[in-house]
Amino acid sequence: MVEIKQREAMDPAYQWDLSSVFESDETFELSLESLKEQLPEVTAFKGRLSESPEVLADAIDTLENYSRQLHTLYVYTSLKRDQDQGNDTYQRYEAQASQLLSEYAAATSFFQPELLAIDPEELEDFIRRSERLQFYRHYLEDATRQRKHVLSPAQEKLLAQAREVLSAHSDTFSLLNNADLSFGTIKDEAGQEVPLTHGSYSKYMESTDRRVRRDAFEGLYAQYEQFKNTFASLVSTQMKSGNFRAKARHYDSARQAALDSHNISEDVYDTLVDTVNEALPLLHEYVALRKDMLGLDTLEMYDMYTPLLGDPPISFTYDEAKDVVLKALAPLGSDYTAILTRAFDEKWIDVYENKGKRSGAYSSGSYDTKPYILMNWQDGLNSLYTLVHELGHSVHSELSNTHQAYVYSNYPIFLAEIASTTNENLLTQYLLDTYQDKETQAYVLNHFLDGVKGTVFRQTQFAEFEHFMYTQEAAGEPLTAQFLSKHYQELNAKYYGSSVNSDSQIALEWARIPHFYYNYYVYQYATGFSAATYFAQGILKGEAGMLESYVNFLKSGSKDYPIAIMQEAGLDMTQTDYIQATLNAFNERLQAFKAL
Catalytic residues: 390
Question: If we measure between CA atoms, which residue out of 488, 510, 460 comes closest to residue 269?
Answer: 460
Closest distance between Zn ion and the C-beta of residue 371, in Å?
12
3-state secondary structure of 195: strand
C-alpha separations of 442 from 74, 292, 445 in Å:
44, 16, 5
Question: If we measure between CA atoms, which residue out of 583, 581, 592, 590 comes closest to residue 536?
Answer: 581
The nearer residue to Zn ion, 170 or 422, going by C-beta atoms, is: 422
Closest distance between Zn ion and the C-beta of residue 123, in Å?
36
The nearer residue to Zn ion, 381 or 491, going by C-beta atoms, is: 381
The nearer residue to Zn ion, 420 or 428, going by C-beta atoms, is: 420
Closest distance between Zn ion and the C-beta of residue 546, in Å?
22
Question: If we measure between CA atoms, which residue out of 372, 373, 377 comes closest to residue 353?
Answer: 377
Determine, following the binding rule CB under 5 A, whether residue 527 of this chain makes contact with Zn ion: no
Report which secondary-structure segment, H or E, holds 500: strand 500-501
The residue length of the chain stands at: 596
Closest distance between Zn ion and the C-beta of residue 393, in Å?
6
- Residues in CB range of 222: below 8 A, 6 or more apart: 505
Closest distance between Zn ion and the C-beta of residue 373, in Å?
11
Q: Which residue is nearest to Zn ion (CB)?
A: 420
Closest distance between Zn ion and the C-beta of residue 396, in Å?
10
Question: If we measure between CA atoms, which residue out of 586, 580, 513 comes closest to residue 277?
Answer: 580
d(CA 483, CA 524): 27
Q: Do 532 and 422 contact (CB within 8 A), yes or no? A: yes
The nearer residue to Zn ion, 80 or 393, going by C-beta atoms, is: 393
The nearer residue to Zn ion, 421 or 429, going by C-beta atoms, is: 421
C-alpha separations of 124 from 40, 75, 110, 137, 149 in Å:
29, 36, 20, 9, 19
C-alpha separations of 120 from 124, 125, 145, 147, 150 in Å:
6, 9, 10, 9, 14
Closest distance between Zn ion and the C-beta of residue 420, in Å?
4
Closest distance between Zn ion and the C-beta of residue 146, in Å?
27
Burial tier of 457 (Cβ tally within 10 Å: 0-12, 13-18, 19+): buried
Ranges within 528-557 binding Zn ion (CB under 5 A): none
Closest distance between Zn ion and the C-beta of residue 453, in Å?
18
The nearer residue to Zn ion, 397 or 420, going by C-beta atoms, is: 420
3-state secondary structure of 350: strand
The nearer residue to Zn ion, 223 or 420, going by C-beta atoms, is: 420
The nearer residue to Zn ion, 420 or 460, going by C-beta atoms, is: 420
Q: Do 344 and 58 contact (CB within 8 A), yes or no? A: no
3-state secondary structure of 177: helix
**Torsion over CA: 510, 512, 515, 517 (sign):** positive
| Residue 500 φ/ψ, nearest 5 degrees | -115, 150
Question: If we measure between CA atoms, which residue out of 446, 444, 428, 439 comes closest to residue 290?
Answer: 446
Q: Under rule CB under 5 A, how many of the chain's residues touch Zn ion? A: 1
Burial tier of 311 (Cβ tally within 10 Å: 0-12, 13-18, 19+): exposed
In 243-324, DSSP assigns E strands to 299-300
Closest distance between Zn ion and the C-beta of residue 389, in Å?
6
Question: If we measure between CA atoms, which residue out of 547, 535, 517 comes closest to residue 241?
Answer: 517
Q: Do 319 and 343 contact (CB within 8 A), yes or no? A: no
The nearer residue to Zn ion, 322 or 393, going by C-beta atoms, is: 393
Reduce the secondary structure of 411-452 to three states and give it as a string: CCHHHHHHHHHHHHHHHHHHHHHHCCCHHHHHHHHHHHHHHH
The nearer residue to Zn ion, 108 or 422, going by C-beta atoms, is: 422
Contact flags string 252-291 toward Zn ion, x per CB under 5 A: ----------------------------------------
Please list, residue by residue across 26-59, b when 16 or more beta carbons sit within 10 angstroms of its beta carbon and e when fewer do: eebeebbeebeeebeebeebeeebeeebeebbbb
Reduce the secondary structure of 523-552 to three states and give it as a string: HHHHHHHHHHHHHHHHHHCCCCCHHHHHHH
Contact flags string 408-447 toward Zn ion, x per CB under 5 A: ------------x---------------------------
Q: Which residues bind Zn ion (CB under 5 A)?
A: 420
